[in-house]
Amino acid sequence: MIAFFVGGLICVIGQLLLDIARLTPAHVMSILVATGAVLDGLGLYDPLIEFAGAGATVPITSFGHALYHGAWQKAEQTGIIGLIAGIFEVPSAGISAAIAFSFFAALIFKPKG
């Protein structure tokens, strides 16, 4: 129940940015990703994940969290060059899975239109 509430609240914030602030979807996505990274930098995103579970890991804010987390972990291991490498290393598994699943879905199903 908490996961649906938190995930829905993140979506409501995104929708309000679209409707009231008249931002483009690209701007809203960038704001939400940056918000996830900032919250992780402040040490607030991991407690949110513990509290909300999938409600915090499924929305796009979690991508910002993964980018920051990966960059920080790699920077601690290899120094400043790790900032760049870490950004690509941690979220790459999720992105690769999304591409693979999309490819297989495209092979199985035919679009109508």
Residues 77-97: pLDDT tens digits?
888 887 777 777 777 777 777
Whether 14 contacts 28, CB under 8 Å: yes
* Exposure on the CB side of residue 61, measured as CA atoms within 13 A: 26
At 67 the pLDDT is 84
At 27 the pLDDT is 93
Say how far residue 4 (Cα) sits from the centre of its chain.
Answer: 16
For residue 15, pLDDT beyond 90: yes
Amino acid at 16: L
At 4 the pLDDT is 92
For residue 113, pLDDT beyond 70: no
Residues 21-62: pLDDT tens digits?
989 999 999 999 999 989 998 999 899 999 998 888 888 888
At 16 the pLDDT is 94
Who's near 24: CB < 8 A, 6+ residues apart?
none
Q: Rounded to 5, what percent of the chain is helix, strand, coil?
A: 80, 0, 20
Judged by DSSP in three states, 37 sits in: helix
